[in-house]
Structure formats: C-alpha cells, structure tokens
Chain A
C-alpha cells in the first residue's frame, strides 16, 4: 500500500472565484436574477375589463427572473453539487436506490398519460384506467392479496391508508371504542408509530429478540382485546426475514387484530414470497423503491396499498370497478363501505406509468431475478466485510440489506458519522447510519440489484481500506471528512437553533453579513 499524505498537508490554494475547476459555485436566484426581466416571452393582452372584484395584487412579489441561458447554467451548476445513482453506488439501507430506467421517463411523458386531466370524461381516458387496472393486477398477483388501493401518494401515506382501512374495519365490527392499541417493534420505521398516533391509536412498543427477529411469544404477550393491529416490516429493518411471521399473523388474527406489513422492503422478495401467503392484511408498496420510480431528491413517491379480502371493502375512493369489459372509476363514497377519500384525484399516475414500464420490462422472471440479485449482492457484501467490520448478525443470511454496528470502531476516535463522511471522499454515498435504532451505531447497507460485480468489489475494497484506516488510528481521514465534496461539514446545530428558512433581502440585494 502506498503512503498517503497527511490530510493537514493537502491544503489546496484558494481561487479568486470560489470555483474549483469543474466544481462551480452559483449564487441564489435572488442574488443574480432581476424583477424586471423574464425568461418567458409573453405578449401582454389588449385592453380588457378585469373582473377581479377589487382584489388586484397591491403587495410586491419580489421574485427574480432569469434568461434561459442563466437559468440553465444556474441549475446545471447546482445539479453538479448532488450525488446521484447515475454517479455511483448509493447503498442507503431501507431506501432502495436502484437504477432508474430512462424508458420509464419516456413512457410517462407520452401525451396520452402526461397530458390528460384527472376530471376528463372517463370515455376519454380509457387507456389510463386500463393502465391502472394492469398495474393493479401485477401488484395483487405479486403480493397474493385481494385488492389494491392506488391513491396513496407515498409510503407513509400508504401506511395511513392501510391503518385507516383497519380502523374502518374495526368500527364496522363495533369495536372502535375498545381496540385502541397498535403494536410496533422497536426496529420499526419512524413513520409506523407516527401514523398510528395520528389516527388516534396508542402505540405499544414490542422489543425485538437478540437475533434481530420478533418472537411470537413477545407478540402473544402484548396482544389482547384492546389491540387493533400490529405493524411489522418484513423483511425487517435489520435486513432479516421474520422467520416466525406466519405464526405471528396467526396469533394476531386469533386475537381479533389485523396485520399491517410495512412493505418498504418488499423489493427483497418480489416473485419469491407473496405477503398474502404470510397472513398480511394490508401492505404498502413504495413504487419508488421496489419498482424504481426515481426518488427525485426526496419525492414524489407513490404508495399503493394491497389489501386482504377482510379489508378490501374499506379501501379509499376512488377505486376501479370492472363491469364486464368496461372499467369505471368509483368516485362517490355513497353506497360503498369505503373509509373515504385521502387525496384529490386518483393517485400518482405518473408513477404508475413508470412502475408498470419497469414491471413489464422485467416480467415475472426478471422481477424475481432482481430480488435474487439484490439479496445475493447484500450477502456478498456481508461475507466480504464481516472480518473487518462487526455485525450482530454477521453469520446469518441477510436479505437485501446488511446491517453492521460500531462495536469494531470502539475507542478508535472515529464515529459512524465520521466513517460515513469519509466514504464521501471515496466517491461513494454513505449507507444509512444510526438506523435501525435497535443496534448501536447502525450502518445499513443496501447495494440493490443494480450493481455490477466490479462495482461491488470496488465498494468492498474501499470499505476495507477505510476500516483498516480506522484500526490504524488515521483519525484525521475521518474527523475532517469530507475533504473532497462541494461543502465540508455543515453546522446543523446553528441551522436549527436560529433557523434561516428563506432569503430575506430584496432581489439583487445581498443579505447583511452575520456579525
């Protein structure tokens, strides 16, 4: 191994402009735009009599305008300050950053999908309804369930949908007043307890066993006539398949409760295991994870919810109904058992098109192979890294993601966060850190099926090198990292203590310098 220079010796000369070669800075649009300039050519209307009822705008807007060249340069420069899947490996556990095929983008932009209004007469959107029905068929078949509610707009919205269906079903049984408890394991995503609480349930936390799995005895002990549902992620957030899930489902049903499955990790088992066969009553599917609709820097997502026959009647409006050959959209709650509407219109159509494009491209065979490769790749990383990093479950098969803890870094002076930032210098996006909460200093790695063997090996080699560096006491490599990013570490404490959430100065102005 070649000798690395010490990091304190690698200071680079500063530049006049603040740019560093291809790494350009760009000010805020409010600093370089102009209020009296527009990058859109519009012919002002001829004289006409406004009918604004005396509510014409009096207050100034303070919005800058950019010409098209300025606009492109601004956003292209900004884009280059982002890491992306197309740039490199993005092993965020639980987030599933897989390749986003561009065919999906092309299909979503067909005018027949992108340029139709949600309230056009149904006779003019037959193809859109068919697409929704086709996607539904795939989702129901792949999950072995009865029905699917397409409207939820993201995973957490899907959770809300599933839990509202459960609440409605319980109310229909006349048990709304008594069943107020929702069980959720400590390893659950934060959205699970947040969802349950927002619907008026009380959350009862159940501990995971030492092997990272939920034990039937623990569930049995927590169940009772006051329990409405259990919310369980499978494969769970430790990357493990809940071995006793069928038994847990049986106990839950026996106690008169429902089984909500957080489907965030469905991508590990598509085409291999059907959640419906495990006793799941409701599960959301993150189309942006499992079916690769792009994450777009934080959204939009889509979170259709598959439902068992016990919950299907309570699905939200609107839903599709097939009368013979004809598909209709039921938009009126009257005469249904639906719990109601949870958003305007009919769901994330743009995401449905992308997801179906991904699904058709893979087919039943390709979807199963994608799951296999995701699980294979995660296990490969586990085997290749377990001698240098520690994992509570190192010797156990994992599913699509592998969990390490920070026991191996103890007393090194390097934290999990430092380690993550050093990965940035190596051109790799960090894994998910400090989640799940059940493991100390969690590092959750999800390579997905999109990585080649060469990239996986490069990832392994890099992480091993970093791990050796930790063990050799090369603390600076970590505590000062990242050195090679558009920004060094940002002061998040001040950001939260004295929040600056908008630009305060006028257009073209400069904000007063901090004292």
Chain B
C-alpha cells in the first residue's frame, strides 16, 4: 500500500517488542465486536485505476466551462488566476492544522489577519472573523448572534433571501425553540419590511442583491431598525457585487454575512465554500467562529495568534457562542490571494465588467416578446418570466449544451414561481454565449 510506510517485517518487529503475537491482539478491548471476516468491499487500487474510476464519473457531468453558462443563485463561476490554485496547494498551507501553535503557524495566521481586514473593508464593517462554513450557515449564526446581543429570540427574514439560507436558519431556530418568520418569496422586491418591524424582533435578515437579483436600499430599513433596537443582518451571496455597490456597512447594517466563494473558489457542486462574517467592534465578543489577532512575541516582533477563544466551544463548552470549531481556511486563503491580486482597482473593474455583461444580456432579453425582465436594478444576475415552466426550458437547453440559468422553482418548489428563471452573467460570457441564450429564449417564447 503506497500510503502506508510500515513494512510487514516492521509490523512484526513492533508487535514482538510489545510482546504481542498478532495485530488483532491490539484490539483486545473490542475483541467481541471485531469483524470476523473482511467486509464485502473492493480491494485497494493503483493511482491509475483510481484515476480511471473517478475520471469515468467526472466524464458523466457537464462542466460549466464547457458550455455557455448562466447559473448563479448563490454560487458563481468567475475566472481565477492560475497562481491562486498553485499557492493553496503549497504543502505548508494545504497540510497544516488549525494554528494552535502560533510560533510555527505564522503563515496561516498572517493570512487570516489579512483576510479579516479584506473582509471588513469590503463589507464596510469594523471586524470580520476567520470565516465560516458557507454563506447559509453564516446567516443562521448571525440570527443566533442577534438573539444574544438583543436578548430577544425572534427573527424576521425577507422574502428576497436565498430560500436555502432561510431554510437553514429556520431549521436551527425551530430546533432551538426560537421564533422565526420568513416572508413569502418576493420576486418583485415589493415587500415592506419597515412596516413589519416591532420591538420584539432581534433582527431582520435582508439580502442584496437579493435572490432575484434586485438591489435593495438598506438605508431606510437600517434607520427603522435602529429606532426599534432591531439588528439589521445584511446577506450578500455574490461578494463581487461589493466592488461596485455601496457596502452594507456604509448602508447601516449591524452584521454582514456573505458567501465568499465567487472570489478565488470554484463551483465544486456546492462545497466547500466560504462563509464571511463581519460586524461592528462593539459586538465582537458575541461573534461566532475563529478570530485572529495581532500581538508581539517575546522579542518584540509582530506576530499573530488565534484570540478571544473564551467564546469558543473548546473553552466554554455548553456556554460557547457557537459549536463551530472549523473555519474554511483554505477557501479563505484562495479568496485572500485572489483579492490581493485584484486589489481595489481590479475588483472594481471586474465588478464593472460583470455588470456590463449582465446589462447587455438584459437588454437583449428585453427585446424578446413574451419574455419579461422583472428587475429595475441588478448587479450580474436578474430574474426573467417565461411563458412556460422555467425548469422545462432549462432541461431542453441543457440537452443542447446550454446551461441557461436556475429555475426559481428549484429553490422554492410549490411557491407558484414556475415560470421564473434566474440568469447570471459574468466576465466569462462571450457575445456568442449571450447570443446562444437569447436565441434559445426566443425559441422558447415562440413555442
């Protein structure tokens, strides 16, 4: 076995040194439950055999990069510079553990400090943590944090919030016997959140750009929230949008959670992704997740450590702010590298290209009779109404090697949104890609 260094002779010698006759003697405490015969499972495979087996499975999937591709809805495909994937595969990043021994983990720790700063600046907040599992779980954790801060246990979720995020928060709230109200799907961004505020609420959770692509002005809502002692939790699922759109922090949000996948990380069929979590300085001790802080070593040199761990489960056990004991370390590294290559200039430009491409696509779609664009505003994704079920259109398009978008019904089944299609466009889409999609929509409308 290529991964197991002990030779049969060495195994024998080690057993002998311990005075044991055979390997199963090591499992004496489990003797009566030890499997008598090997399980009915295949034997080990060579590298080549594994490559063939898994390659065959991979070949059954239609890769996004192989066709015109317009999917978003919380997961975005962008071009990632080659150096990102090279750097995250450095042994010292890839195969290191959580930086519990800071003297020999400064690489990871400095990256986390830089990452936290990037996220704080991008979201317009004071502090950010070292990342969470993904955007949806970060949003659920934000609700719990709002409960801790306000000592209320009642959350209101916008109908523009990604349905998976809303469901994730609902599951956790139901389990913890907290109250949660999720407003009905709001594809036209017509809901009036301010009218529904009252001082029993711990927080309001709003996404912008929302799941249907609408940009939402958070400023009036932030003012109304402040007046009622309610925290405003802003959710961003396409973090690139903040290169072009005013940050949630500048709009008055108290907690910003986001999916960071779209910078530095691939689609990966939904995971692993990167939860971003940022808030105001005054709430830092109520934050979930790991935090990296700056300090000095005994020789006075700047260094970094994990800090404020008295919030965390390994110290506080059942009184911890969260049970989380992971961050999305390597995804955070990829994010941070990609963002440090982009810089402010590149991020703004990339965001602008995305918006321009989406505008071009929207303008072309608006010329198709029978297909309706629902958005007044959007960043790189919008919602269109088709004359028939969007899921069927998407299937027909896929059969012709076009990945046309996400049917809203995939996210919200039985909500009466069958004819709605979410379409995202990025820097990757060419004029030819757009023409293919527009032609397919035109054909669909004429069916």
**Assembled-state Cα–Cα distance A329/B127 (Å):** 38
Is A351's CB under 8 angstroms from B272's CB? Answer: yes
**CB of A325 within 8 A of chain B?**
no
- Please give, as numbers and ranges, the residues of chain A lying within 8 Å of B114 by CB-CB distance: 28-30, 503
Nearest CB of chain B from residue A60's CB, rounded to whole Å: 8
**Assembled-state Cα–Cα distance A189/B91 (Å):** 28
- Please give, as numbers and ranges, the residues of chain B lying within 8 Å of A130 by CB-CB distance: 57, 60
- Please give, as numbers and ranges, the residues of chain B lying within 8 Å of A502 by CB-CB distance: 113, 116-117, 120-121, 126-128
Query: Taking A65-B345, A78-B111, A360-B54 as contacts, is the C-beta distance between A157 and B91 under 8 angstroms?
Result: no
**CB of B299 within 8 A of chain A?**
yes
- Please give, as numbers and ranges, the residues of chain B lying within 8 Å of A85 by CB-CB distance: 91, 95-96
Nearest CB of chain A from residue B213's CB, rounded to whole Å: 10
Specify which of B13, B298, B345 is in contact with A38 (CB 8 Å cutoff).
B345
**Assembled-state Cα–Cα distance A196/B317 (Å):** 10
Is A112's CB under 8 angstroms from B60's CB? Answer: yes
Q: B190-198, B237-245, B434-442: which one contacts chain A? A: B237-245
- Please give, as numbers and ranges, the residues of chain A lying within 8 Å of B430 by CB-CB distance: none
| Chain B 3-43: CB-based contact to A (< 8 A → 1; otherwise 0) | 11111001101110110000100111110111100111111
**CB of A13 within 8 A of chain B?**
no
Query: Taking A131-B54, A344-B164, A490-B296 as contacts, is the C-beta distance between A64 and B340 under 8 angstroms?
Result: yes
**CB of A361 within 8 A of chain B?**
yes
Is A55's CB under 8 angstroms from B377's CB? Answer: yes
Nearest CB of chain B from residue A501's CB, rounded to whole Å: 5
| Chain A 98-141: CB-based contact to B (< 8 A → 1; otherwise 0) | 01110101111111111111111101111110110010001001
Query: Taking A153-B137, A363-B41, A490-B103 as contacts, is the C-beta distance between A346 and B270 under 8 angstroms?
Result: yes
Is A348's CB under 8 angstroms from B272's CB? Answer: yes
Query: Taking A81-B107, A490-B102 as contacts, is the C-beta distance between A76 and B295 under 8 angstroms?
Result: no
List B112-137 residues whose CB lies under 8 Å from chain A.
113-114, 116-118, 120-122, 124, 126-128, 130-131, 133-137
Is A78's CB under 8 angstroms from B107's CB? Answer: yes
- Please give, as numbers and ranges, the residues of chain A lying within 8 Å of B130 by CB-CB distance: 298
**CB of A301 within 8 A of chain B?**
yes
Nearest residue in A to B124 (C-beta to C-beta)?
A: A59
Is B376's CB under 8 angstroms from A53's CB? Answer: yes
Query: Taking A114-B267, A198-B322, A450-B5 as contacts, is the C-beta distance between A295 and B35 under 8 angstroms?
Result: no
**CB of A197 within 8 A of chain B?**
yes
**Assembled-state Cα–Cα distance A339/B45 (Å):** 38
Is B93's CB under 8 angstroms from A272's CB? Answer: no
Specify which of A87, A101, A159, A302 is in contact with B323 (CB 8 Å cutoff).
A159
**CB of B271 within 8 A of chain A?**
yes
**CB of A256 within 8 A of chain B?**
no
**CB of B63 within 8 A of chain A?**
yes
Nearest CB of chain A from residue B373's CB, rounded to whole Å: 10
| Chain B 182-224: CB-based contact to A (< 8 A → 1; otherwise 0) | 0000000000000000000000000000000011010000000
- Please give, as numbers and ranges, the residues of chain B lying within 8 Å of A301 by CB-CB distance: 326
**CB of A203 within 8 A of chain B?**
yes
Is A397's CB under 8 angstroms from B29's CB? Answer: yes
Residue picked from A198, A299, A486, most chain B C-beta under 10 Å: A299
Nearest residue in A to B317 (C-beta to C-beta)?
A: A193
**CB of B423 within 8 A of chain A?**
no
**CB of B367 within 8 A of chain A?**
no
**Assembled-state Cα–Cα distance A97/B97 (Å):** 8
Query: Taking A30-B117, A52-B244, A200-B175 as contacts, is the C-beta distance between A299 and B327 under 8 angstroms?
Result: yes
Is A121's CB under 8 angstroms from B344's CB? Answer: no
Is A345's CB under 8 angstroms from B403's CB? Answer: no
Nearest residue in B to A182 (C-beta to C-beta)?
A: B318
Is B102's CB under 8 angstroms from A487's CB? Answer: yes
8 further interface pairs, Cβ-Cβ under 8 Å (given A65-B342, A86-B91, A502-B113): A75-B87, A78-B111, A82-B92, A82-B106, A272-B34, A294-B95, A344-B270, A453-B13
Is A364's CB under 8 angstroms from B323's CB? Answer: no
Nearest CB of chain B from residue A372's CB, rounded to whole Å: 5
Is A86's CB under 8 angstroms from B95's CB? Answer: yes
Is B75's CB under 8 angstroms from A111's CB? Answer: no
- Please give, as numbers and ranges, the residues of chain A lying within 8 Å of B34 by CB-CB distance: 272-273
List A413-439 residues whose CB lies under 8 Å from chain B.
420-421, 424, 429-430, 435
Is B50's CB under 8 angstroms from A110's CB? Answer: no
Nearest residue in A to B398 (C-beta to C-beta)?
A: A121
Nearest CB of chain A from residue B186's CB, rounded to whole Å: 16
Nearest residue in A to B271 (C-beta to C-beta)?
A: A348
**CB of A191 within 8 A of chain B?**
yes
Is B326's CB under 8 angstroms from A112's CB? Answer: no
Is B267's CB under 8 angstroms from A155's CB? Answer: no
- Please give, as numbers and ranges, the residues of chain A lying within 8 Å of B329 by CB-CB distance: 295-300
Nearest CB of chain B from residue A123's CB, rounded to whole Å: 6
Enumerate 8 A-B pairs (CB-CB under 8 Å) in ascending A order.
A43-B353, A50-B359, A75-B93, A121-B398, A127-B61, A301-B326, A499-B307, A501-B294
Specify which of A42, A95, A116, A339 is in contact with B349 (CB 8 Å cutoff).
A42
| Chain B 232-255: CB-based contact to A (< 8 A → 1; otherwise 0) | 000000000011111100100000
- Please give, as numbers and ranges, the residues of chain B lying within 8 Å of A203 by CB-CB distance: 317-318
- Please give, as numbers and ranges, the residues of chain B lying within 8 Å of A360 by CB-CB distance: 42, 45, 49-50, 53-54
Is A495's CB under 8 angstroms from B77's CB? Answer: no
Is B26's CB under 8 angstroms from A376's CB? Answer: yes
- Please give, as numbers and ranges, the residues of chain A lying within 8 Å of B58 by CB-CB distance: 107, 110-113, 127
List B262-287 residues whose CB lies under 8 Å from chain A.
266-273, 284
**CB of A49 within 8 A of chain B?**
yes
**CB of A160 within 8 A of chain B?**
yes
Is A294's CB under 8 angstroms from B94's CB? Answer: yes
**CB of A147 within 8 A of chain B?**
no
Is A397's CB under 8 angstroms from B28's CB? Answer: yes
Specify which of A55, A299, A383 is in contact with B17 (CB 8 Å cutoff).
A383
Is A424's CB under 8 angstroms from B101's CB? Answer: yes
**CB of A68 within 8 A of chain B?**
yes
Is A489's CB under 8 angstroms from B297's CB? Answer: yes
**CB of A465 within 8 A of chain B?**
no
Specify which of B95, B116, B325, B398 is in contact with A100 (CB 8 Å cutoff).
B95
Is A49's CB under 8 angstroms from B110's CB? Answer: no
Is B325's CB under 8 angstroms from A56's CB? Answer: no
| Chain B 374-411: CB-based contact to A (< 8 A → 1; otherwise 0) | 01111100000000000000110011000100100011
